[in-house]
Structure 1
Amino acid sequence: MKKLLFLTFFFSFILFSCNDDSDCFTPPEPIVMEFVNSKGENLIQNGSLTKEHFHFLQIAGDTKIGTNFEINHENRVILNKLGWIVGSTTYEAFVNVSKLSRKCGGNKIDNVSFKDIEALSQNGIYQIVVE
């Protein structure tokens, strides 16, 4: 009986301790953007920009897919669903994504660069200067 109990425990431990990479995935962190003027004033907070002013598209060849976003309590735009595809993707900005080198897998956003727009990155927040 002790051997049976030991074998049951042993195989249960092996079964639950093995982690298949296909069973888990770490999604990339969201992209957080703050739109400011040249004085550093938040343009959502002062009413110059509203949710209706924003429209984000993921472009893949001739296909354009709308991307959901939210505006948080700090008046910053949050893009939650970006970075699921490894490589560079055009969003009227360039998002470079790479795979995490962990047992569980996942992706991380390495860099976001904006075409013809001044943007500063601090602590994971992209501050975009709009004139």
Structure 2
Amino acid sequence: MKKSIALIVASTLFLQNCKDDCYTVPEPTVFEFVNSSGENLIQNGVLTSSNIVVQQDNGNGNFAGINVEVRDDKKILLKNVGLFDGTRNYNVYLTSDPIRTFNFKISSNQLTGDCDGYEINELTIENIPSSADNGYYKIVVD
């Protein structure tokens, strides 16, 4: 009897942990900042990570900072965006001279089924020329 109870408890814990091991993160959100000639502005030194400020608009004048990581390919990775169900708005400030700003919004949803996680359905960039390019967004800053 004790072995049966132990087996049931172990099976229950195993099944609960399976879902914990099955988590899908959204595709990474990556931006490349270029000039109109296509030159990467981080690679040529016009922008640095300290010149790029990204904020999530939480409404009512409240904002939360988004961590930005410059990757080896001189594109930036926005950390922990898309981990929600719904739509969120973001503001980007490029604090080099002259200061430039643009907005983007992300619509994402929670996955259903056996795995937990989120997927980004749409990312829309506003107020600046941009294009989706093979897993990242190219943003033209002039």
What TM-score comes out, normalization by structure 2 length?
Answer: 0.76
Asked which structure has the greater CA Rg, the reply is 1
CA distance in 1, matches of 2:36, 2:25: 33
Q: Structure 2: any 5+ residue segments left out of the alignment? A: 91-102
Deviation at 1:56, TM superposition (A): 0.5
Deviation at 1:21, TM superposition (A): 8.8
Residue matched to 2:97: none
State whether structure 2 residue 15 is matched by structure 1 residue 18: yes
Q: 2:116 aligns to what SS in structure 1?
A: coil
CA distance in 1, matches of 2:46, 2:53: 16
Q: 1:14 aligns to what SS in structure 2?
A: helix
Q: 2:81 aligns to what SS in structure 1?
A: coil
Residue matched to 1:121: 132
Residue matched to 2:40: 42
Instruction: Answer yes or no: is the 8 Å Cα contact 1:26–1:106 preserved in 2.
Output: yes
CA distance in 2, matches of 1:115, 1:8: 59
Residue matched to 1:79: 78
Residue matched to 1:28: 26
CA distance in 1, matches of 2:113, 2:32: 31
Residue matched to 2:93: none
Deviation at 1:44, TM superposition (A): 0.6
Residue identity (%): 32
What TM-score comes out, normalization by structure 1 length?
Answer: 0.82
RMSD: 2.5
How many positions carry a matched residue from both structures?
Answer: 128
Q: Structure 1: any 5+ residue segments left out of the alignment? A: none
